[in-house]
Amino acid sequence: MARSMWRGAIQFGLVTIPVRLYLATDSKGIAFNMLHASCRNRIQMKTYCPFHDDVISRGDTVKGFEYAKDQYVVITDEDLSSVPLRTVRSIEIEKFVPARPAEDEPVRFVKQAYYVEPEPIGKKAYALLREVLAEQGLAAICKVVIKDREVLAALNPHANAMVLETLHWPDEIRATDELDLPSDDVEIKPAERKMAAQLISAMTGEFDPTEYRDEYRGALEAVIEAKVEGRAIAEPDEAPVGGQLVDLMAALEASVNAARTARANRDEEAAAEEAVAGRTAAAGRRPKKIVPAAEDAEQVEAPVRKLVRRKSA
């Protein structure tokens, strides 16, 4: 595995577990370099000092904090390491909480995931903490300083390791007030709800991340490869994914079922009203319905498959 990002210790109560953090994820985007359009040479970004009118090296720079307009205080590495905070070299566990946020709890907005590896001396304590977290279904909410920033994090057991997920601070999370969201009193008819539920249930399955891949990256790589080899770039493939007509039939089916339900509900209500009025429902003014309910309606049909989105189980 790559170089560790961070060294320190997990702290809770009197227990100290020395650990290292490693990035758990890679960013697989395709990176481009900037070239000068006319000569196709790679451009350089120079660090330039306008006072000396000269290009300087990065080693000749220091960190400055702008405390007022054009007024800076220089912060050195020594200043940073002397920050009087316990979390500088430690992952300070504040609280143990259920591993999965409850329904009424806010979503945990994850910034970055790190694998946590114990130093040899901390292996046993590490295993113990992981075991108990997994057994009790808990996560540890902690604070840690990574790259000059104190971050909130959740420590979770993950297979035989632990994963530290850094979270956004509550004040970093924007409110939803500015969004134009539907109000609570949107009127949804039972039939509409049922229709939506049917469509959703037809597409419900287990989440298996291996089923998904970054198709944009694949297509972009193919374009690059074709250019490298001097071939013409393939046209975007508009060919449909399978199941299009089947989707139409499924939508039709769901819509008809919803309409039938809606009608059955209306008829029931009307029958009840008429009974109250002392009349028999059969004498209603509505045109006589010949096929009364969905179950009775015999159907001649092609054996249309159900939605085929799901992978074969």
Partner 1 sequence: MTRRTTGEPLPLQFAPTASRLPERIVPMRPTDGEGPFDDPGYFFEPWWPGIRAFVLVEDGAVRLRAEALGDPTAAFPELAGVVELVRADGVVLDATLMVLDARGRPSRTLLDQRLAGEGGGCGSGGPGGRAGTSRGSAALVASDLLYLEGTSLAALPFGERRGELAALLRPSSWCLAGRGFIGDGTTVATALGVLGFRALSARRLDAPLRPGSARDAWYRVPVVAAPRELPPFLAVIRRLPL
Q: Contact residues for partner 1 (CB under 8 A)?
A: 182, 186-189, 192-193, 195-196, 199-200, 235, 238-240, 242-256, 258-260, 262-263, 287, 289-291, 297-305, 308
Minimum CB–partner distance for residue 293 and partner 1 (Å): 9
In what helix (H) or strand (E) does residue 90 lie, and over which residues does it extend? strand 90-98
Output the smallest distance, CB 222 to partner 1, in A. 17
Sign of CA dihedral 128, 132, 135, 141: negative
262 touches 195 (CB < 8 A): no
CA dihedral 291, 294, 298, 304 (to 10 degrees): 140
If the CB atoms of residues 16 and 198 are measured against partner 1, the closer one turns out to be 198
Let me know: does 164 contact 153? Beta carbons within 8 Å. Answer: yes
Nearer to partner 1, 177 or 187 (CB): 187
User: Phi and psi at residue 23, in whole multiples of 5°?
Assistant: -60, 130
3-state helix, strand, coil in the chain (%, to 5): 30, 25, 45
Mark out the alpha helices in the chain (DSSP H runs).
77-81, 123-136, 190-202, 215-228, 244-276
**CB of 307 vs partner 1, minimal distance in Å:** 10
C-beta separation of 192 from 258 below 8 A: yes
**Residue 268 to residue 274: CA distance in whole angstroms:** 10
Nearer to partner 1, 97 or 264 (CB): 264
Distance (Å, rounded) from C-alpha 252 to C-alpha 275? 34
Annotate 123-182 with DSSP letters as a single string. HHHHHHHHHHHHHHTEEEEEEEEETTEEEEEEEEEETTEEEEEEE--GGGSPPSTTS---
Shortest Cβ 230–partner 1 spacing (Å): 22
Q: Which is nearer to partner 1, 80 or 297 (CB)?
A: 297
Shortest spacing between CB 221 and partner 1, in angstroms: 21
For the bound state, the minimum distance from the C-beta of residue 250 to partner 1, rounded and expressed in Å, comes to 8
- Distance in Å, CB of 255 to partner 1, minimum: 4
Nearer to partner 1, 155 or 258 (CB): 258
